Structures are given as C-alpha cells and as structure tokens.
Structure 1
Amino acid sequence: MSGQNPPFNRTNWPIAAAMIQYQNILPDGSSVQDQAPEGWAATLADVTDAGFTELDPTDSWIRLADLSPARLETFMGLVRDAGLTIPAISTARRSVIDPERGEEFLAYNHKVIDTAAKIGAKEVSFGLFYPLTDAQKRALWFWTAQGTTSPDDPAVWRLAVERIRELGRHAQEVGVGISLEMYEDTYLGSADSSVRFVEDVDHPSVGINADLGNLVRLHRPVEHWATMMRKVAPYTRYWHVKNYFRTEDETTGLVVTAPAPLEFGVISYRAAIRMALEHGFKSAFLVEHYGGDGLSVSATNREYLRRILPK
C-alpha cells in the first residue's frame, strides 16, 4: 500500500491521465523524446483541457528517465505551468526478464525510480510483459492475438523475483513505491500468481497494480473479476483502472470483449475499490481507455471515480 499523504477524498484523490493514446513517434517520423517544448506543451494542453490535474507520463509516450537533466527540467516546468502534477510514472513492455534486453531494462527501471524521486512522483509501475508481436500489431485489439508468454521456468521466476526485489530496495531508499502490473501470460497473469510473486519478492515497497482490465478483456476463460480482486486487494497500490464489455456464450464457448467506459463494463469498480479501501488502499489511480478518443473517455472515467470515492 502507498506511502502517500492521507487523507484523500473524492475531491482530492490523485487521478492521473494515461498517455497511451499518444505515440512516441510523431507523424513526421521524429520522436517525442526530441520534440520541441512547444510540442510537449500542446500535448499537455490536451490533458488540462480534458479537466485533469494529474498526469502519468507513460513511457510509451515519453521516457522521462532518458531525458537529459536540462530537458527534464524543461518538461517539468511545462507540467507545472499547465497546473499538472505527476503522482506516478508507468513503464510498458520493458521487462527485467526480457530474453534479449532484460539487463538493459533493469538498468532503465533503476533510472525510472531515480527520476520519479527527483520529480516528486511517489510510485512507479513496472510490468513483466513483452513488446507486441507482429500479429498483435496487426490486430484491431492487440489482446485478441497471442503475445509472448513468460517461460515456465523456476530459474527465470527466481531471476524476476531477485531483480524486482533489487528495484524494491532502491525504491525504498529514495521514498518511492513499486506497483507490478497484472498482465496476461506473465508471472502476474492471474490473481494467484500475482500474489505468489509479490510474496516471493517480499519487500514492503513492492505491491500489485490490480489492472484487472488486462485480464477480463481476453477472449478466453478468466477468473471472475471479484474473486481476483479479493485476492489482490491486500497488496494493491498504484492502480491502472479501465473496463471492458465482456460476453460469454456458454453453449459455444465464444468470448467477445470490447473497451467500455469505467462505469459500464463488466468490472464493478464501486465494489473493487471498496475491497481495496478495506485493506488501507491510499494510492493514486491511472485512468485508461483504448480506442476512439481515449483521453475524453478517461476524463469520464475520472468523474465516475470522483462520484464513488469516499467523501
């Protein structure tokens, strides 16, 4: 659970905009990493126009940890000028057990922790999921195609545990918490496996990002969201929230899913959040949505959370 400063209530709970709808590579082929400050400011204006006061500079959009000190200070100045704060930094597809780049990503994640501490972010979200496969890139919804699976190898599991524990020690030293994202076919690909993994890591700075949406969207049988949430609630900290419509045909086995606004999908976040609150949850939220105007739907999701969080 988070070390942020309580008490939070529905009016001041940090609810950050995700940046998954913004790509790192711009239409002209250049990178957001090298973008002029005016370009960064224009994107931040989108976020504030949508009513957000918090932002997660998800590293699929911009890698703050890879900016020079001067460029980082410029970016943070723009964030402040926009009236935004950054409660957390999320990473994507930079697994510390990636078979080709695991050590590189471990070093990068250490930089993310230091960057979070430098800018005042209290949490980071790491995952053990891999880059999209070619089939996933071709699919309308990438989760409908099979991605890379973490190996069923006790030695690799131990390596993952050791490297996350190493990151946990670093995070504790600089006052940052780590949230590990639930994601299919990884060592956090189910509630039971997520709990086992975090308990094996056994570090007070490391918890679970209960991103149940990553699992309920799968076109395959999955554990009921409420059962999963009851298992992970004691370990939940910085939390990515999104929802999906899900239809299951018991006569054929057909499963169909599609992104849904937070209050309309199969997960009842009113109930899920209450479960987490019962275990002392006091971290920030990140609101996400895939497809369409994801930022505007995320803003709708933010307002839904404001209505159901404690007064």
Structure 2
Amino acid sequence: MIPFGGRLPDGRLVQDAAPEIWAESLTDVADAGFDAVDPTDSWLRIADLDLARRAEFVSICEGLGLSVPAISTARRSVIDPQHGDEYLAYSHRVIDTAAELGIGHVSFGFFGPLSPKQMKALWFWTEQGVQNPDDPDIYRLAVSRIRELGQHAESCGIRISLEMYEDTYLGTARDSVRFVTEVDHPAVKLNIDIGNLIRLHRPVEPWAEMIELCAPYAGYWHVKNYYRIEDPSGLVMTHPAPLLGGTINWRTAIRRALELGFDSPFLVEHYGGDGLSVSAANRDYIRRILSGRTIRT
C-alpha cells in the first residue's frame, strides 16, 4: 500500500477516514490483479482500529477477494529514544491483531521517522536519516525487545521478520546476521529488503553477497529494485526500477534464496510513478520465476 500514503489530499489521515475511503484504494489493488494485500501501517494501522472498524476493513478485503497474509510496520522502532515503550506496546498489539485475523507474518524494523531534509527530497534515501546509536546498552535493549516480541509471536503461531535498513542494527548483511543470531529465537527471521541498501548513494555490499549471507535467515520478504550508477569518481546515483530491470538480478536472487530454504510470502514495492502498476508487473515477474524454477538438491 506504499503508493497510497497515509494522508488523503485534504490532509486527513487514512486512519481516521471512513471505510469507503479504504475501499477505494483496496479496489484499485484488486483491480490490479492482486488477491492478497499487506495493509502496511504507513497507510493504515489496523492494530489501532477498534473492533468494529477492524471488522469493516476485513469485510472490505473479503468482498474484494483479498487475503491478508502479513502486516508490515514502518518507522515505529522499539528503541526509538522518545517513543520506544509506546512502539513496543504497539508491536505487541500488531501481533495480537495478526493472531486475531489469522495473519501469519509481521515485519518490524529499527528505522526512525523521516528527517525534514528527507521529507523535502525527491527520493528520501538521498538524505541522511536517523541512525541507531553505537551504544552497547541500546543494542542489548534492541535484542531483548525483539526476543520478547518473538516469544509473543511464537505463542500465536506467527513469524516476525526484521527489515534490513541503512544505519540501523540491520544496516548491512553481516550486521543483520549478527543481530538475528544474537536474538536467537525460531520465530524471528530477517526481512532481506536489500533494495533498501542498493539504493544508497554510498558504497554497499554486492547484492549477491547479501543474498548469500542473509537468505538462510529470511522470512517475510519486501522486494524492489533500483538502477544504480557508480562513476569512477566515486559518485553514486540510484533510481527506482522494476524488478526485472534494475541492478539486482531477481531471478538469480530468488532462486538462490529458495535453494537456501526461503518459504515465506513476498511483498512487492515500488516508489514513484504508477507504483501500483509496477508492483503488479513485479508480482507477475516473480510468478514466472517461481513457475519455471528448477531447484538443485
């Protein structure tokens, strides 16, 4: 639901809008050929709807033939210096809501709110965002809180995935593997959203190396692609791309992840332009890869 945003043209929050407004966006999703949707809390926090409004949301999805296999959260870090306790409580509500609705996957992350410069930029990732502190106590708190969420999720039959994102404790492939290994809980996996890293205007690990290191720990997976240009002068520039056209070879990446045991849903994303239609094309591309795959044994 990233193409729809959390505010309406008149400034109202989608969260506070009438269900008919939700239905308009979800109808667009269904008309694009989707039969599943992640509400994504940057669009709508279904965990913070009262029971009646949550039932209306579910009814709309059912009427459109849309299942809800996962819920993604964004910019609600459980170690946020101001709102960490609040976001931890919210994260538990998300897990409870997922259990209530029979949703099997939830994605969390440590990335913070967009800075004023990021909000003004054409592409927010070209400006510096919030950085997780280089503080052993905060790191241990992050591990402890994610393990706590993992224990809750396991009791509900749900899997958590932690989204890879720059300048967080999941900001590189090696950091991500280190973190999930330290959490050491079977319900906690990685959301190996390597597009978040490939788009950075700085040196990054090769995408194939990220897949090799992280896919054995992968759960629910956000996928997107970017064109990346690296000039010999050191200049790096990126731009959103469809899955089949950017720097990451997604056919190779997906096949390798399957070989390494990946068995969770994909969330297709795209920034800019008609993001919904590009996401639909990305969906079809993944289906072609899956239908034609040959897995070595």
Identify the TM-score tier after normalising by the shorter chain.
over 0.9
Q: Helix, strand or coil: the match of 2:82?
A: coil
Name the residue aligned to 2:285: 304
Q: Which moved more, 1:19-28 or 1:286-295?
A: 19-28
In the alignment, structure 1 residue 20 sits paired with structure 2 residue 2: yes
Name the residue aligned to 1:9: none
- CA deviation after TM superposition for structure 1 residue 23, in Å: 1.8
Q: Helix, strand or coil: the match of 1:86?
A: coil
Give the paired residue count.
292
Name the residue aligned to 2:36: 54
> 2:153 is matched with which residue: 168, 171, 179?
171
Name the residue aligned to 2:295: none
Amino acid at match of 2:243: L
Higher relative CO (CA 8 A, sep ≥ 6), structure 1 or 2? 1
In the alignment, structure 1 residue 132 sits paired with structure 2 residue 86: no
> 1:99-137 CA deviation, whole Å, 9 max, x = no partner?
000000000000000111111110000000000000100
- In the aligned structure 1, how far is the partner of 2:231 from the partner of 2:9? 41
Structure 2's unaligned 5+ residue stretches are: 293-297
- In the aligned structure 2, how far is the partner of 1:269 from the partner of 1:25? 32
> 1:174-220 CA deviation, whole Å, 9 max, x = no partner?
01100000000000000000000000000000010010000000000
Structure 1's unaligned 5+ residue stretches are: 1-18
- In the aligned structure 2, how far is the partner of 1:30 from the partner of 1:247? 38
- In the aligned structure 2, how far is the partner of 1:29 from the partner of 1:290? 21
In the alignment, structure 1 residue 114 sits paired with structure 2 residue 96: yes
- In the aligned structure 1, how far is the partner of 2:60 from the partner of 2:244? 32
> 1:293 is matched with which residue: 258, 274, 282?
274
- In the aligned structure 2, how far is the partner of 1:139 from the partner of 1:34? 27
> Where in structure 2 are the equivalents of 1:208-223 lying within 5 Å?
208-223=190-205
- In the aligned structure 1, how far is the partner of 2:84 from the partner of 2:215? 29
- CA deviation after TM superposition for structure 1 residue 310, in Å: 4.0
Identity %: 64
- CA deviation after TM superposition for structure 1 residue 308, in Å: 0.4
- In the aligned structure 2, how far is the partner of 1:275 from the partner of 1:237? 14
**What's the TM-score, normalizing by structure 1?**
0.93
Amino acid at match of 2:171: G
Q: Helix, strand or coil: the match of 1:215?
A: helix
Name the residue aligned to 1:5: none
Q: Helix, strand or coil: the match of 1:302?
A: helix
8 Å contact from structure 2 (residues 215, 261) kept in 1? no
- In the aligned structure 1, how far is the partner of 2:277 from the partner of 2:124? 21
8 Å contact from structure 2 (residues 268, 282) kept in 1? yes
> 1:64-118 CA deviation, whole Å, 9 max, x = no partner?
0000011101110010000000110000000000000000000000000011111
Name the residue aligned to 1:261: 242
Q: Which moved more, 1:272-281 or 1:261-270?
A: 272-281
Q: Helix, strand or coil: the match of 1:211?
A: coil
Name the residue aligned to 1:73: 55
- In the aligned structure 2, how far is the partner of 1:255 from the partner of 1:33? 37
- In the aligned structure 1, how far is the partner of 2:257 from the partner of 2:168? 23
Name the residue aligned to 1:6: none
Q: Which moved more, 1:265-274 or 1:208-217?
A: 265-274
In the alignment, structure 1 residue 276 sits paired with structure 2 residue 273: no
Amino acid at match of 2:86: E
